[in-house]
Amino acid sequence: EAQVTQNPRYLITVTGKKLTVTCSQNMNHEYMSWYRQDPGLGLRQIYYSMNVEVTDKGDVPEGYKVSRKEKRNFPLILESPSPNQTSLYFCASSQAGAGDEQFFGPGTRLTVL
Amino acid sequence: QKEVEQNSGPLSVPEGAIASLNCTYSDRGSQSFFWYRQYSGKSPELIMFIYSNGDKEDGRFTAQLNKASQYVSLLIRDSQPSDSATYLCAVRYGNKLVFGAGTILRVKS
């Protein structure tokens, strides 16, 4: 089954404790991205990747890091999480970039205490 | 900062009516426009895309684009309770995709 997977689905952590949210797609897609979704603000793009070893900032990159060492994986790293990073996070992928249909993962609900 | 604006709603329509959802965007250089639907607790899924001025129809859905006025709209004909969801407008700017905050649609049976 073609899909985007994210782990963990739910995470409660404390301020300053480094964490990684994994994202993997099995569709051989070139483009991958991370979004956060907050009430009243909609989906905001954090980082995106056009291909392996090619990443760039979205609109809200502060406090986040990403890497794209393999085509299928695009982990999101929070090196020192803060309470304002409490949010619902979605990973997405597409075959041909931002102008193509985005396939979203199931989401990760992160709470930073 | 590229902006995409939507009325948050909720927009309530009776079953069988036409639901009209609107979106405006800030940059005339925008290239592609999308409507995603998100059910409560679920991930967004694409329902329509439009690139050129005018109307594009797909079943009960019609997307309308007016680049001169910088707005894009989504019409849902014969609305069903299963159409109740949040509708997200998205605009492509180069390699980025910018979403609006979404409009909540409620279809009452």
Residue with tokens 């409660």: A12
Tokens of B10: 């909720």
- Helix %, strand %, coil % of chain B (to 5): 5, 60, 40
Given an 8 Å threshold on Cβ–Cβ distance, is A42 in contact with B45?
no
All residue ranges of chain A with pLDDT < 50 are none
How far is the alpha carbon of A18 from chain B, nearest alpha carbon, in Å? 26
Strands A76-78 and A19-25, sheet pairing: antiparallel
Q: With 80 as the cut, is the pLDDT of residue B1 above it?
A: no
Confidence (pLDDT) at B49? 96
Question: Which of helix, strand or coil describes residue A100?
Answer: coil
Confidence (pLDDT) at A52? 95
Give the pLDDT band (50/70/90) at residue B29.
confident
Confidence (pLDDT) at B31? 80
Confidence (pLDDT) at B28? 84
Confidence (pLDDT) at A83? 98
In DSSP notation, A43-91 reads: EEEEEEEEETTEEEE-S--TT-EE--SSTTB--EEESS--GGG-EEEEE
Please state the length of chain A. 113
How far is the alpha carbon of B38 from chain A, nearest alpha carbon, in Å? 11
Confidence (pLDDT) at B14? 98
Percent of chain B with pLDDT over 90: 89
Please state the length of chain B. 109
Confidence (pLDDT) at B30? 85
Tokens of A90: 């979605």
C-alpha to C-alpha distance for A40 and A63, rounded to whole angstroms: 21
C-alpha to C-alpha distance for A32 and A50, rounded to whole angstroms: 7
C-alpha to C-alpha distance for A105 and A85, rounded to whole angstroms: 19
* Contact residues, chain B, for A33 at CB < 8 Å: 97
Under a CB-based contact definition with an 8 Å cutoff, are residues A102 and A43 in contact? no
pLDDT tens, residue by residue, B48-83: 999 999 999 999 999 999 999 999 999 999 999 999
Given an 8 Å threshold on Cβ–Cβ distance, is B98 in contact with A59?
yes
Given an 8 Å threshold on Cβ–Cβ distance, is A44 in contact with B92?
no
Instruction: Work out the mean pLDDT of chain A and round it to a whole number.
Output: 97
How far is the alpha carbon of A85 from chain B, nearest alpha carbon, in Å? 18
